[in-house]
Amino acid sequence: MNGRWVGASGVALCMLAATTAARAELPNTIVWTAYQINTAGYGQAVAVGSALKNHVGKTLRVLPGKNDLSRLAPVREGKADFSANGIGTYMSQEGAFEFAIPAWGPQKTRLLAINIGKNCMSVMVAGDLGVETPYDLKGKRTAIIKAAPGLNYNLYAYLRFGDLEWEDTQRIEFPSSAASTDSIVQGQADIAFTSTVSGSPLKLEASNRGITWPRLPHDDEAGWQRMLAAAPYYVKHTCTEGVAIGEDKPLEGATYPYPVLMAYDDKDADQVYAMTKTMQDLYEHYKDSAPGAGGWALENQQFEWVVPFHEGAIRYYQEVGVWKPEYQAHNDRLIERQDLLAAAWEEYSASAEGKSEADFQAGWQSARVEALKAGGMAVVWPEW
């Protein structure tokens, strides 16, 4: 028998065994939370679920959540295994915005994988307003979402690019992401935050208002400096996938990983490893099944982002040879930041019992700033 063939077969069998072992760690039913139906995040979760069912024989239940709190609560409580969540994952780590309440505080979140596709994370604007860049958003009606700091703050980051503040616009609150985007079609608002590949822009494009995406000129250094000071997780991105944009009509814009597949730090490392590995094993089976799903590719993973990776995920990335010592050092610093914030929260909470909600949040803002400065770490959000 040919020795070369035996060696190749042995490698293949080992790889098959490793894949089978990884999948064996997944329960028969896996539960994710995700954004609401008709969003890019939900569509991608369904696509992954279809691949799991058809090729692994596992069932993925997807629980849609209206906001960051409702998506994270089932994961924190052990009722869901993972979440295809957004930038609220970072805000929960920071104990900021809606997470700055006694029932929450800084969360020890961890990443399995991130999605960076050809789309942009942007504000969609009614096409009948003549908006070209964020500088043109002054005075417009902005749709904000109750208990969704991630989405709301991203809209604010776009305002900062245009040298605007909240008070330069008319804020109108809606109960969910879907309601906020539908409000533009219905003439109740002018601006909402979304992904260029979600379902809502299709509705706006087909309406009598039409749709436009503000450009973020990549050579506008002042605009980018303001935006990144408010939201350091953004990157310059030329977007070629989405409603009213394409390879022949690119958008000079910005993005950040969305969704991110996340868990908590205490999630079983073997299950995390198995889910991370299975996401890559099945990639070819779901990458074209939902808008933006191609962004989960291994080559799109960013290992020096703002939230640390789970040890189980790191194990997988080490095995495939893409995890570097500098990534581990960065990850360790992020975990140190989480530990510092958790300690500061515990100390502050013990002294803040009985305070009103407003006083509690104000006190936590100060305590958080002091703790981060003392630890030599960036504050990012001194207040909210």
Which tens digit of pLDDT belongs to each residue from 174-223? 999 899 999 999 999 999 999 998 889 999 999 999 999 999 999 999 99
67 vs 368 pLDDT, higher one: 368
Angle of helix 357-374 relative to helix 325-351, nearest 10 degrees, comes to 140
CA distance 206 to 245: 14
pLDDT band per the 50, 70, 90 thresholds, residue 147: confident
Residue 263 in contact with residue 310, Cβ under 8 Å?
Answer: yes
Average pLDDT, integer, range 340-353: 96
- Which residues 6+ apart lie within 8 Å of 349 measured at CB? 102, 105
- Minimum mean pLDDT among 25-29, 88-92, 148-152, 355-359: which range? 148-152
Residue 109 in contact with residue 138, Cβ under 8 Å?
Answer: no
Which residues in 266-290 are b (16+ Cβ under 10 Å) and which e? ebebebbbbbbbbbbbbbebbbebb
For the beta sheet containing 59-64, the strands, ordered from the edge strand earlier in sequence to the opposite edge, are: 59-64, 29-34, 82-85, 260-264, 109-114
pLDDT band per the 50, 70, 90 thresholds, residue 148: confident
121-252 matches 3-116+258-333 in CATH topology: yes
Average pLDDT, integer, range 278-305: 95
1 vs 122 pLDDT, higher one: 122
Per residue in 35-50, pLDDT (tens digit) is 999 888 999 999 999 9
Residue 98 has pLDDT above 80, yes or no: yes
| pTM for this entry | 0.80
Question: What's the pLDDT at 39?
Answer: 87
Topology given in CATH for the domain delimited by 121-252: D-Maltodextrin-Binding Protein; domain 2 (3.40.190)
Question: What's the pLDDT at 13?
Answer: 41
Closest CA relative to residue 91, chosen from 148, 33, 171, 32: 148
Residue 21 has pLDDT above 80, yes or no: no
Question: What's the pLDDT at 278?
Answer: 97
Neighbours of 355 (CB within 10 A): 15
Transcribe 2-52 into DSSP letters: -HHHHHHHHHHHHHHHHHHHHHHTS-SEEEEEES-TTSHHHHHHHHHHHHH
Quote the mean pLDDT of the chain.
Answer: 92
CA distance 135 to 133: 5
Closest CA relative to residue 45, chosen from 94, 86, 4: 86
Per residue in 2-14, pLDDT (tens digit) is 443 334 444 444 4
Question: What's the pLDDT at 149?
Answer: 75
Please state which CATH number belongs to domain 3-116+258-333. 3.40.190.10
Neighbours of 185 (CB within 10 A): 19
Average pLDDT, integer, range 314-333: 98
Residue 60 has pLDDT above 70, yes or no: yes
pLDDT band per the 50, 70, 90 thresholds, residue 273: very high
Instruction: Sketch the domain layout of the chain as residue ranges.
Output: 3-116+258-333, 121-252
pLDDT band per the 50, 70, 90 thresholds, residue 20: very low
Residue 244 has pLDDT above 80, yes or no: yes
